[in-house]
Amino acid sequence: MVNVFISHPTPYNKDQQSFLSLIEDEIKQYGLNPINLGKNNWSFKSPLQPIKMLMDTCFAAIIIGLERHHCYIGYEKEFTKNSKETVHKYTSSPWLQIEAGMAYQAGLPLLILKESKIYSEGIFDPQISDSFIFEFDLKKVKKELSPEIKELILSWVKHIQ
C-alpha cells in the first residue's frame, strides 16, 4: 500500500465521522493507506518531528477542512480603518495549515477538500493557493460521496501514481 498523509481535525459529530470514513474507504480502493499523527502514530515527542517523519513515508497528502470553531461575531483588524466585522465565521483546526505547509514543502501532491462554510484563508483560500480547492456541503454527504468528489479523487489518484 502507498501511504498518503491525511490531515483533518478530530471529528466531533457523526456527519464528520461519516465523511472521513467515506473518504478513507474511497482512497483505500486505490491501494492508498491514509495515515496521520493523531490516529495511529502518536508520539511523546513534539508533534512537528513525528509529522515530518510520517510525511517522509508518504507520496501525497489530503487536507480536509472540517468545522472546528464557530465565531458568532468577530472583528478582523479591530480598531483600524480596515476593521471588518465577521458574522458566523467557521474555521478548521490550525494544524491543517501547518500540516498542509509541511506537505507542500516536502513536495507532496495535495488534494484539498473544504467544507463550504469554512472561512477561506491560508491553504483554503483559492486566490492564494496554487492547488485546486474542492468545496463540499457536509450535510449532503452523509451516506455516500458525491460523484464529483469520487471523480476528483480518481483524477488525483491517477496524478500521484
Q: What does the pLDDT look like over 9-27, one tens digit per residue?
A: 999 999 999 999 999 999 9
pLDDT value of residue 39: 55
Beta strands in the chain (DSSP E): 2-7, 32-35, 60-65, 69-76, 84-91, 110-115, 133-136
Q: Which residues contact 13 (CB under 8 A, 6 or more apart)?
A: none
Pairing assessment for the beta strands 69-76 and 110-115 based on DSSP bridges: unpaired
* pLDDT, tens digit, 9 for 90 and up, residues 19-54: 999 999 999 999 999 998 875 566 666 778 889 999
Computed on alpha carbons and rounded to an integer, the radius of gyration of the chain in Å comes to 16
Whole-angstrom distance, CA of residue 100 vs CA of residue 123: 7
Whole-angstrom distance, CA of residue 110 vs CA of residue 132: 9
* pLDDT, tens digit, 9 for 90 and up, residues 84-134: 999 999 999 999 999 999 999 999 999 999 999 999 999 999 998 788 999
pLDDT value of residue 1: 86
pTM of the model: 0.92
Length of the chain: 161
pLDDT value of residue 11: 94
Taking alpha carbons only, the member of 96, 42, 45 closest to residue 66 is 96
pLDDT value of residue 144: 93
Whole-angstrom distance, CA of residue 33 vs CA of residue 30: 9
Whole-angstrom CA distances from 145 to 22, 138, 155 are: 7, 10, 15
Whole-angstrom distance, CA of residue 18 vs CA of residue 140: 11
